Structure formats: C-alpha cells, structure tokens
Amino acid sequence: MERKSKLKPRRIKFIQEYLKDFDQTAAAIRAGYSAHSARFIGSQLMVNPEVKKEYEIRYAEYKKKYEIRRESIIEKLNKLIDECESDGDRKYLVASLEMLNKMSGNYSHTVITQTAEQPLFPE
C-alpha cells in the first residue's frame, strides 16, 4: 500500500530505493540524483527531518511486513534437527544445533590472543 506524503517524488523514490538494500549512494542514483553527488545527497537526505520521519514510518512498515518470527525459526530448526538425527546427517545436525545454541544465548564467541613465545598446545 502506497503512503501519501508531502515529500517531493524524488525523495520518496530515494526512501523506497534505500529500503531495498540500505545503500544511500545507490538509492540516490536509482532515485535520479547525479552519480557524482549521490554519496553526499544520500547522507544529506538521511538527516533531513522530513525524509527521516518518512523513512522511519516506512521502515516500521517494512519491518512488520518482512519480520521473521523467532519462534518460527526455532520451530524449523527443531524439525531440521529431528530429521538430521533420524537420517544420520551429522553435518547439518551440527550446524543446526550450533545455530539453535546461538539463538538461545548460550553461545559466546571467544578470541584467544596468541604470542610467538606461548606454545600452541600447552602440556
């Protein structure tokens, strides 16, 4: 459903294009602004109060339309895990379990800093 707005058509087109890939420069070019100044214009448009307000309204609609519910992802992962366990498909089983573990908050990414003096595998 197309929204009515007081913005100029090219600014509305910019917002529509920006919602496709969230690239200000590309959106400005696709909206009809000069490729030479598109980067500057894109950043200027995103701080313009009227454009920003319209963007926030349209982004809220976008999020609602394309929202992927966490519960449905967990449900699909659980089904996939069951299928992998019954098929013996360890590759996808491990990947599914890892993803489910990350979604549950039990996963933390740890970076270990190693120096040349430290042995790789201490005894």
The pTM assigned to this predicted structure is 0.56
Greater model confidence, 29 or 118: 29
Lowest mean pLDDT among 6-10, 26-30, 54-58, 82-86: 82-86
Residue 29, CA distances (Å) to 23, 57, 65 in order = 10, 22, 26
Query: What b/e sequence results for 20-53 when a residue is b if at least 16 CB atoms lie within 10 Å of its CB, and e otherwise?
Result: eeeebbbbbbbbebeeeebeebbeebbeeeebee
Structure tokens at 88: 């013996």
Q: Is 22 helix (H, G, I), strand (E, B) or coil?
A: coil
Domain boundaries, the chain: 9-66, 70-104
Q: What is the pLDDT of residues 73-117, one digit of tens each?
A: 788 888 888 888 888 878 788 888 888 777 776 666 665 565 666
Residue 79 confidence (pLDDT): 87
Residue from 4, 6, 8, 26 nearest 17 by CA: 26
Among 40-44, 75-79, 96-100, 119-123, the minimum mean pLDDT is found in: 119-123
Cβ neighbors of 12 (< 8 A, separation 6 or more) are: 5, 54
What are 21's two structure tokens? 């890939």
DSSP letters, 28-66, are: HHHTT--TTTHHHHHHHHHHSHHHHHHHHHHHHHHHHHH
CATH code for residues 9-66: 1.10.10.1400
